[in-house]
Structure 1
Amino acid sequence: MKRGTKRQPNNKGQIRIISGQWRGRKLPVLNAEGLRPTTDRTKETLFNWLMTDVRDAVCLDLFAGSGGLGFEALSRYASFVTFVEKDKHNASQLSENMKTLGVDPSKAEVVVTDALNATSKLSRQYDLVFLDPPFQKGLLPDAINALETQNLLADSALVYIECEVENALYTVPENWECIKHSASQQVDYRLYRINPK
């Protein structure tokens, strides 16, 4: 697609699950404005980092979009995933993809609301959180703050943050320890472990 071409919301692309019980399965995603699925290469790096941490984890995909990270976690036997997505069309596609994969309804939920509003309504604590907000929207600082103030992080939780390189100077609480870090020309991604205060 040429740069600047307006995407039609009913056009579909796809994401691929790279490992686990649904390895190789492809899922349709809407070509919606601002939707930027994590690349396979980045996803592979991330889940190599998380190799021993995903199974049985309770996960939050806070800016779910295509759901690529949450579905990858479910494929690798996470115990539960909350997908938060404010666009109702994207959220509907997430629900359809759950049905396509045969996800047990007790293992996942789709919450249709703004990510920052969702944090005040979620009642679980999460072992693993994916923060991959739309670029150039300035959402990361508020999302980090919300995770802390709403007490959504379990003991020794892991938080993955993916953002544009030029906005990688965000601050995190003192007890967030960066344990993995990588970057491409455009994208910075880090994994934090939340230490007891």
Structure 2
Amino acid sequence: MRIIGGQWRGRRLSFPSVADLRPSADRVRETLFNWLQADIAGARCLDLFAGSGALGLEALSRGAAEVLMVEENAQAAAQIRQHLQTLHGRAGRVIQADVFAFLQGPAAAFDVVFLDPPYRLDCLAQCCALLEQGGWLAPKAYIYLEDLSQRPPPALPAQWQLLRSKKAGDVGYHLAAAAPGS
């Protein structure tokens, strides 16, 4: 995996061979961060199902003020922590936890949420509902969703708006915005 842009642009990082762990493809990340380019600097980001850490590390590289990465797998979480240490990514933090349990805990509002679960879970709608109900979203927050392209875009809470949607091979990826006060 390599960082696409920002201060760590071009850095190649390894990730463990763990079931269901696959970094978002370079061209998908590049498109996503082009969509967010005016909003990522200074943003508070939440990377759920962090996996390789590709999305969270990319956000930090591009100037996010804070990135909290949640990953259940101990080996993957440890590797992300190692990358943060190597890159001196002090604004990044990793929590090893089940995402569903985490989202039921005490909330803090985030400006950008990355939601890229293992495809086998098919849980985007459930995660969106937990984000909406739990106070995890700052006013006008952006939510990135990634899933298999053959599935329709996930059912979003009524207050959210789907802003962009693209496909790249087997991957469908989407950017939504929460209504102010969601």
Q: TM-score, normalised by structure 2?
A: 0.95
Q: Tell me which residue corresponds to 1:171.
A: 155
Q: Tell me which residue corresponds to 1:127.
A: 111
Indicate yes or no: 2:117 matched with 1:114: no
- Whichever residue aligns with residue 101 of structure 2, its letter is N
Indicate yes or no: 2:58 matched with 1:72: yes
Q: Shift of residue 184 of structure 1?
A: 2.4
Mark the CA change 1:166 to 1:64 in structure 2 (over 3 Å): closer, same or farther: same
Q: Shift of residue 178 of structure 1?
A: 1.1
Rounded to whole Å, the distance in 1 between the matches of 2:106 and 2:42 is 19
Indicate yes or no: 2:82 matched with 1:96: yes
Any stretches of 5+ residues in structure 2 without a counterpart?
A: none
Rounded to whole Å, the distance in 2 between the matches of 1:184 and 1:175 is 27
Mark the CA change 1:76 to 1:169 in structure 2 (over 3 Å): closer, same or farther: closer
Q: Percent identity?
A: 39
Deviations 1:30-77 (A, max 9, x none): 111110110001010111111101000000000100000000000011
Q: Tell me which residue corresponds to 2:7.
A: 21
Indicate yes or no: 2:58 matched with 1:63: no
Q: Tell me which residue corresponds to 2:171.
A: 187
Q: Tell me which residue corresponds to 1:137.
A: 121
SS in 2 for 1:168: coil
Q: Shift of residue 169 of structure 1?
A: 4.2
Indicate yes or no: 2:54 matched with 1:54: no
Whether the 8 Å contact between 2:115 and 2:145 is mirrored in structure 1 is yes
Which stretch shifts more, 184-193 or 163-172? 163-172
Q: TM-score, normalised by structure 1?
A: 0.88
Q: Tell me which residue corresponds to 1:146.
A: 130
Rounded to whole Å, the distance in 2 between the matches of 1:184 and 1:92 is 29
- Whichever residue aligns with residue 160 of structure 1, its letter is Y
Q: Shift of residue 123 of structure 1?
A: 3.4
Q: Shift of residue 119 of structure 1?
A: 1.0
Rounded to whole Å, the distance in 2 between the matches of 1:170 and 1:179 is 13
Rounded to whole Å, the distance in 1 between the matches of 2:122 and 2:32 is 23
Rounded to whole Å, the distance in 2 between the matches of 1:48 and 1:117 is 31
Q: Tell me which residue corresponds to 2:17.
A: 31
Rounded to whole Å, the distance in 1 between the matches of 2:154 and 2:42 is 30
Mark the CA change 1:76 to 1:137 in structure 2 (over 3 Å): closer, same or farther: same
Higher Rg of the two aligned structures: 1
